Amino acid sequence: MATNAQAQMRCRLCGCTLDAGEGDNFEIAVCGSCESRPEARKLGKPLKLVTPEGTASQTPARDFTPAEKSLARKMSSYLPIAEVLGILNERLACDLGPDAAPYTMEQLKAELGGGATSEAGKDWASLRKMLARAKRDGTLDRIDEQLIDDFAVVYSLNSKQVLTIKEIILDAREDGV
């Protein structure tokens, strides 16, 4: 009979719910399908089960490094958050060894601030935030009038749309957002 904590466990590789009846390995938290994969052998020591209160029985080894924070922010828009967590935990194990407590999904979600999973709004405030982010990343500085004109040709924009884009982007560049 699986305990309550085991009933809520997910595979560390594919994210499916673990089931003792299907031969899943609760010690290293991988499903039967993933257990034969090379990544499963690299997972190292078994994970500690979650306590009934919902807190992990093992504290994280460290906070995210600046490089890991940057990697998480950039990759979370391309990869599922579980894969990003797996990459970060693999880096952690390489840095501190297999005995290091892995990062948790809650830790990663707190670091990302929910920005990775939320869809951008269509209002003026969201546009200003997006322009500020583009300014910080250096993308806004690379957009010039010629690039906007090329974009207009490729996407068959009318003159009003082109003027609106130029007004918003070029003014934001000059104002520093």
111 pLDDT above the threshold of 90: no
Question: Rounded mean pLDDT of 99-114?
Answer: 85
What pLDDT sits at residue 35? 79
pLDDT higher than 50, residue 73: yes
Average pLDDT over residues 6-27: 78
59 has pLDDT over 70: no
Does residue 63 have a pLDDT over 80? Answer: yes
The reported pLDDT for the residue numbered 176 is 67
Kindly report the average pLDDT of the chain as a whole number: 79
Question: What pLDDT is stored for residue 32 in this prediction?
Answer: 81
Query: For the chain, what is the HEC assignment?
Result: CCCHHHHCCECCCCCCECCHHHCCECCCCECCCCCCCHHHHHCCCCCCCECCCCCECCCCCCCCCHHHHHHHHHHCCCCCHHHHHHHHHHHHHHHHCCCCCCCCHHHHHHHHCCCCCCCCCCCHHHHHHHHHHHHHHCCHHHCCHHHHHHHHHHCCCCHHHHHHHHHHHHHHHHHCC
pLDDT at residue number 38: 72
Work out the pLDDT band at 121, boundaries 50, 70, 90.
low
Q: Does 64 score more than 60 pLDDT?
A: yes
Amino acid at 81: I
Q: What is the mean pLDDT of residues 26-38?
A: 79
The residue assigned the tokens 């806004």 is 140
pLDDT at 120 over 70: no
Task: Give the CA dihedral 156, 161, 167, 168, nearest 10 degrees.
Answer: -90
